[in-house]
Amino acid sequence: MRVITVAVVVGLLFVGDVAVAQAPATSKPVANLAQVMRGILFPNSNILFDVQSNDPETFGKKESGTGASSTFSGIYTGWQVVENAALALDEAATLITMPGRLCMNGRPVPVQRADWTKFTAELRTAARAMYKAAQAKNKELASDTTNDVAAACENCHIVYREPNPRCVP
């Protein structure tokens, strides 16, 4: 059994090395801004907002069923779910500032604008504060910090999301 495990690990390392070796030095964004928002920022910010009314110790508990969401539930639980969500928002701040990313309407994301830079910096700051609160397992601080996360989202949304057309101040 140990030999099989070692062989699998070595095989995975080799596949990973090949994938890294084939990756381009610079990459273009694949998803548009709305897709990044819906796939990363929306679900993870809502995990953080959930801290206001739910005990993070209960997050990620094992679910019954046979689908992927139930199969992989229970792997990351408790405050680690909050930490991971905060880190995802921090990383997403970089993703939404990548040159070449487009908005859902085909317009370029306004990454050169001073207000866009300010809004993404606010998101990063709020995410890092939330990460620290989660590391400390401080529910009160985490709950208070969700206000900073919400404000960072709202500040950007007021200018760039509402009303249409999006990505145009």
Note the pLDDT of residue 25.
54
| Residue 26 confidence class, pLDDT cut points 50, 70, 90 | low
136-164 pLDDT, tens digit per residue, is 999 999 999 999 999 999 999 998 887 66
82-136 pLDDT, tens digit per residue, is 999 999 999 999 999 999 999 988 999 999 999 999 999 999 999 999 999 999 9
Which of the given ranges, 5-9, 73-77, 96-100, has the highest pLDDT on average?
A: 96-100
Note the pLDDT of residue 32.
95
Task: Determine the Cα–Cα distance for residues 57 and 88; give it in Å rounded to an integer.
Answer: 19
- pLDDT, mean over the chain: 84
48-63 pLDDT, tens digit per residue, is 999 999 998 888 887 7
Eight-class DSSP state of 56: G
Note the pLDDT of residue 100.
94
Torsion (CA) 28, 30, 34, 36 in degrees, nearest 10: -90
pTM: 0.79
- Closest by Cα among 86, 96, 156, 82 to 128: 86
Mean pLDDT of 18-42: 79
Question: pLDDT higher for 44 or 63?
Answer: 44
Mean pLDDT of 6-34: 60
- Closest by Cα among 131, 161, 134 to 37: 161
